[in-house]
Amino acid sequence: MTIITHARPNIAFIKYWGNRNEELRLPVADSLSMTLSNPSVTIEAEASDTMIIRSIEMNGEEKNLSDAQKKRFVDQFVLAKEYLRTLGAEDTLPSAVSLIVRSEIPSGIGLASSAAVFAATAKAYAEMIKQSIALTKAQESVIARLGSGSAARSIFSGFASFVARGDGIGDAWAEQIADENHWQLHDIVIAPEVEHKKVGSTEGHALASTSPHWSERVRQMPRRQKECIDAILQKDFEKLQHVTEEDCMDMHNVMMTSTPSLQYLNKETYRIVKEIENLRSAEHLEVLYTMDAGPTVHVICTEDALEKIREYAARQQGCTVFEAKIGAGADLVE
Ligand code: DP6
């Protein structure tokens, strides 16, 4: 039987950067994000004799996956089995699966597909075993995390907090702070350049602790996480803006001062950030910026500010612009 699931990327207000265990993707600190309404990634999964991983592009053409890319799916599957063993559900998943990944994420917008992909595979595995064990969303989130840390958050709709707990395989998962109807926020994604990033997040996490700013970052994280949760629950945009921008620039400071240095932001990023700050103060707009491991600026705003931000984004020559709002968690495609 083929199971079809889909999931979407998320954008973090409080960033996940640094693991206490790289293989198990156990974060050092908590993080917090908003799941986006689009673009979505669909997974078709079925039991198979061997692991087969295929990726089909939007135009219907098959994309060649590298061995490293395929290995990531295999690793998640093997770790999912290991985790299920700790729940007493060891032989519930088949010995191998065939996966077809279809991503609607346009290339060059700097939106990583991994969070959506591994949340969708986790949902598919949960669906495959539901006659034997009904997993909770927290348990689905653990399985998503085993493929990509930030995928733990894409299991949930709306706002999700990814909480670092202990050192065991099941010791970190996300939980929902508020659903997608709580606060209508929009993400206008402005991507200045199409360039493949040199060091991906998975490898980048391992460098975090080499930065002299790392221990101070870890010290500040619980306070920021709490402020961010409060801001969301109170729908206090100004508070959300302050803590999000503070955390984003702090993560990039850690990245830039790590050994080797990771420089993800470019001149265009800084220009857009400055212009958003100017626009915000000149027009009193509820708008904030945040960047992940790339030069793409996520300009997040309320309904009231949306038109002005859209107009600004449309004026950005040479940039790819993409728009999403707050969205749904990983689910079955009926
Ligand atoms: C900077 O380990 O989840 O986006 O390697 O793409 O799976 P992948 O990324 P992941 O790290 C995400 C890091 C981040 C911040 C965040 O999303 O919290």
Q: What is the DSSP string of 54-72?
A: EEE-TTSPEEPPPHHHHHH
CA of 228 to the centre of ligand 1 (A): 18
Per-residue pLDDT of the chain (334 residues; tens, 9 = 90+): 999 999 999 999 999 999 999 999 999 999 999 999 999 999 999 999 999 999 999 899 999 999 999 999 999 999 999 999 999 998 999 999 999 999 999 877 878 899 999 999 999 999 999 999 999 999 999 999 999 999 999 999 999 999 999 999 999 999 999 999 999 999 999 999 766 667 888 899 999 999 999 999 999 999 999 999 999 999 999 999 999 999 999 999 999 999 999 999 999 999 999 999 999 999 999 999 999 999 999 999 999 999 999 999 999 999 999 999 999 999 999 7
Return the best residue to mutate from 13, 16, 20 for the ligand 1 pocket (most ligand atoms within 8 A of CB): 16
The whole-angstrom separation of Cα 147 and Cα 184 is: 29
The whole-angstrom separation of Cα 307 and Cα 311 is: 6
Ligand 1 atom closest to 203 (CA): 5
Predicted pLDDT of residue 106:
84
User: In whole angstroms, what separates CA 322 from the centre of its chain?
Assistant: 16
Taking the complete model, does pTM exceed 0.85, yes or no?
Answer: yes
The dihedral over CA atoms of 201, 330, 68, 46, expressed in degrees to the nearest 10, equals 170
With a CB cutoff of 8 Å and minimum separation 6, the contacts of 126 are 135, 139, 140, 143
Among protein residues, the one with the nearest Cα to ligand 1's atom 1 is: 292
Among protein residues, the one with the nearest Cα to ligand 1's atom 7 is: 148
Comparing C-alpha atoms, which of 108, 115, 114, 127 is closest to residue 45?
A: 127
Return the best residue to mutate from 150, 187, 207 for the ligand 1 pocket (most ligand atoms within 8 A of CB): 150
CA of 272 to the centre of ligand 1 (A): 22
CA of 18 to the centre of ligand 1 (A): 10
Predicted pLDDT of residue 195:
64
CA of 117 to the centre of ligand 1 (A): 13
Among protein residues, the one with the nearest Cα to ligand 1's atom 14 is: 292
- Residue indicated by tokens 């991507």: 191
CA of 251 to the centre of ligand 1 (A): 12
Predicted pLDDT of residue 110:
79
Q: Which two tokens stand for residue 114?
A: 């991994």
CA of 149 to the centre of ligand 1 (A): 6
With a Cβ cut-off of 6 Å, ligand 1 is lined by 12, 15-17, 31, 112, 114, 148-150, 200-202, 205, 292-293
**231 to 105, 177, 178, 239, 260: CA distances (angstroms):** 29, 11, 12, 6, 35
Among protein residues, the one with the nearest Cα to ligand 1's atom 4 is: 292
Comparing C-alpha atoms, which of 44, 14, 66, 60 is closest to residue 200?
A: 66
CA of 247 to the centre of ligand 1 (A): 14
Ligand 1 atom closest to 31 (CA): 18
Q: Which two tokens stand for residue 2?
A: 């083929």
Ligand 1 atom closest to 147 (CA): 7
Ligand 1 atom closest to 25 (CA): 2
Ligand 1 atom closest to 118 (CA): 7
CA of 200 to the centre of ligand 1 (A): 8
The whole-angstrom separation of Cα 237 and Cα 118 is: 30
CA of 286 to the centre of ligand 1 (A): 26
